[in-house]
Amino acid sequence: MKFIRNILDKQKKQFEKGGKLEKFYPAFEALDTFAFVPNHTAPAKGAHIRDGVDLKRMMMTVIIAMLPCLLFGIWNVGHQHFVANGQEADLWSKLLIGAQAVLPIVVVSYAVGLGIEFGFAVAKRHSVNEGYLVSGMLIALVMPPTVPLWQVALGTAFAVVLGKEVFGGTGMNVLNVAMTARAFLYFAYPSQLSGSVWTYNPPQGYSGATALAIAAETSKVHPNSADNTAIVQAFGEPFSFMKLFIGDIPGSIGETSTLMCLIGAAILIFTAVGSWKIIVSGFAGVYLTGLLLNALAVNEFMALPAQYHIVMGGVAFGIVFMATDPVTASQTETGKWIYGFLIGFFTVLIRVFNPAYPEGIMLAVLLMNIFAPLIDFYVIDANKKRRLKRFKYAV
């Protein structure tokens, strides 16, 4: 590391003001601060809050929290490949096949996204922030393993440019970047983001349907049934509650395992990087809405046991890693409860009443990103009115 530090120190003059490569200083600074802690210190005089937490450390904490989902996703992609082909395989064979499918998606996501951010930083002469370190991984993890790499590049470019940079860059975006990329590709290329796309190199004719797809289809076949018998039977052993919870099922790379998502949630909550209020209220919104629909059930999907909604699709991943995005989520403490609960509420409503979009968490998160500032506005306004009322009585 000292060798790299010496090289960067020697080249720094070329990028500083007056150097030959002055206009590329933001790119050089980004590489320098990514590899080493910035040497900025607070002034010796005066009162200052000193803390070891900065944006880079926060982003790296989120990436560490996502590692269980990434590693499990790599294994599961390989596992589903061998299951589809009716073959037995050991751990390393599954990891090798999974890595062949997943790592190129991760590389393309980071290469395109960081390339665009570096370009904007150089053009606008501002520092490159570390926010995309998380977004790049999230984009890869919400993709199916069979997505074409050119679509990953296109979706990433769309999300970074129109979902982030046009608003001013890191910290200014209104919508979650990864969900914006997923939504763009879902509506632009639905055949590559839905249907039988969840298994890497399957044999011809293999469907690889997900639990959400089975639930939606079963509800169409039994539109007037008010119990869940047909759906539970259609799930069978391949989609039992425990298998859905563990996650060894077809699906997007990082979204299948609720268990891995909960491990990530524990890391985010323990380090205070993610809001536990949003996570808890998000899961509560999903479960309570499921119970409400059970009580009002007029079809199979409405009668599906509420706990299944938590472990199906990308609900856990979306609540833990998307809903807690500190930029696009509610900022007030009361608002976080409302924001998280409504994400869970709308997720279940969308997937049950609009089978065309079975993965309701995507649209629910983007919808609540838009309403988060409004939630905070009314929470703050209510606080002001209560304080004014107390002041009036005190006087």
Does 307 have pLDDT greater than 80? yes
Per the prediction, the chain carries an average pLDDT of 84
For the record, the structure tokens of 191 come out as 């055949």
Mean pLDDT of 306-328: 94
The Cα 72–Cα 263 span in angstroms is 12
User: Model confidence over 126-139: pLDDT tens digits?
Assistant: 666 667 889 999 99
* Rounded percentage of the chain residues whose pLDDT exceeds 70: 79
Whole-Å CA distances, 42 to 46, 49, 68, 390? 9, 9, 36, 40
User: Model confidence over 373-394: pLDDT tens digits?
Assistant: 999 999 999 999 888 888 777 6
User: Model confidence over 31-70: pLDDT tens digits?
Assistant: 565 555 555 555 556 555 555 556 677 888 999 999 999 9
Q: Which amino acid is at 301?
A: F
Q: How confident is the model at residue 253 (pLDDT cuts 50, 70, 90)?
A: very high
The Cα 105–Cα 256 span in angstroms is 17
Q: Residue 271: is it exposed, middle or buried by C-beta count within 10 angstroms (0-12/13-18/19+)? A: middle
**1/99: higher pLDDT:** 99
Among 227-241, 265-279, 349-363, where is mean pLDDT lowest? 227-241
- The closest alpha carbon to 320, from 361, 262, 277, belongs to 262
The Cα 191–Cα 212 span in angstroms is 16
pLDDT at 89: 93
Does 171 have pLDDT greater than 60? yes
Task: Round to the nearest angstrom and report the end-to-end CA distance of the chain.
Answer: 65
Among 99-108, 142-151, 205-214, 277-286, where is mean pLDDT lowest? 205-214
Mean pLDDT of 16-32: 62
Collapsing DSSP to helix, strand or coil, 351 comes out as: helix
* Rounded percentage of the chain residues whose pLDDT exceeds 90: 51
Does 207 have pLDDT greater than 90? no
For the record, the structure tokens of 223 come out as 């539109």
For the record, the structure tokens of 92 come out as 């390393």
For the record, the structure tokens of 145 come out as 């393993």
What is the gyration radius of the CA atoms in the chain, in angstroms?
23
Q: How confident is the model at residue 184 (pLDDT cuts 50, 70, 90)?
A: very high
pTM above 0.75, yes or no: yes
Helices and strands (H and E) in the chain: how many = 17, 0
For the record, the structure tokens of 330 come out as 């509610």
